[in-house]
Amino acid sequence: MSDLGKRTRLNRIFSHPSGRIFTVAVDHWIGYLYDPIPAGLRHMTDTVAKVIEGQPDAITMCKGAVVRYFAPHAGKVPLIVQTVAVRTDGQAFFPHATVPEVLGLGADAIAVAVFIHTPETNQQMKLLADTVRVAERYGLPVVAHIYPIRNKTISHQPDDVYFAMRTGMELGVDLVKIPYTGDVASFRDIVVGCPVPAVAAGGPRCDTLDQAKAMLADVVRSGAAGATVGRNVWEQPDIVGAILTLKAVVHGG
The pLDDT value given to residue 167: 95
In whole angstroms, give the CA distance from residue 200 to residue 202: 6
* Contact of 146 with 164, CB cutoff 8 Å: yes
Domains present along the chain, CATH in parentheses: 2-250 (3.20.20.70)
* Contact of 190 with 178, CB cutoff 8 Å: yes
Looking at residues 73-82, what average pLDDT do you find?
97
Establish whether the linkage from the previous residue to 36 is cis, with ω within 30° of 0.
yes
pLDDT (tens digit, 9 = 90+) per residue, 126-160? Answer: 999 999 999 999 999 999 999 999 988 899 999 99
What lies within 8 Å, CB to CB, of 11 at 6+ separation is: none
Per annotation, catalytic residue among 57, 108, 147, 247: 147
Q: For residue 160, which phi and psi values (nearest 5 degrees)?
A: -65, -45
Per annotation, catalytic residue among 6, 50, 63, 177: 177
**CA distances (Å), origin 148, targets 67, 118, 227:** 30, 8, 17
Using the 8-state DSSP alphabet, how is residue 15 labeled? -
- 76 is a catalytic site residue: no
The predicted model scores a pTM of 0.95
The pLDDT value given to residue 38: 82
Q: Is the pLDDT of residue 29 over 80?
A: no
The pLDDT value given to residue 253: 60
Query: Predicted confidence band at 28 (pLDDT cuts at 50, 70, 90)?
Result: confident
- 147 is a catalytic site residue: yes
* Contact of 56 with 22, CB cutoff 8 Å: yes
pLDDT (tens digit, 9 = 90+) per residue, 211-227? Answer: 999 999 999 999 999 99
Looking at residues 39-51, what average pLDDT do you find?
93
Q: Supply the DSSP string of 178-196, one letter for each residue.
A: EE--SSHHHHHHHHHT-SS
pLDDT (tens digit, 9 = 90+) per residue, 107-127? Answer: 999 999 999 998 888 999 999
The pLDDT value given to residue 1: 60
Q: Is the pLDDT of residue 88 over 90?
A: no
Q: Is the pLDDT of residue 36 over 90?
A: no
**DSSP E strands, the chain:** 21-25, 58-62, 79-82, 84-86, 93-95, 109-116, 142-150, 153-154, 175-179, 198-201, 226-229
Using the 8-state DSSP alphabet, how is residue 123 labeled? H
Query: Predicted confidence band at 204 (pLDDT cuts at 50, 70, 90)?
Result: confident
Per annotation, catalytic residue among 6, 27, 63, 69: 27
- 247 is a catalytic site residue: no
Alpha helices by DSSP H, 139-181: 158-170
Q: Is the pLDDT of residue 66 over 90?
A: yes
Using the 8-state DSSP alphabet, how is residue 207 labeled? S
Question: Which is nearest to 196 in space by CA: 219, 214, 171?
Answer: 171
CA 247 to chain centroid, in Å, comes to 15
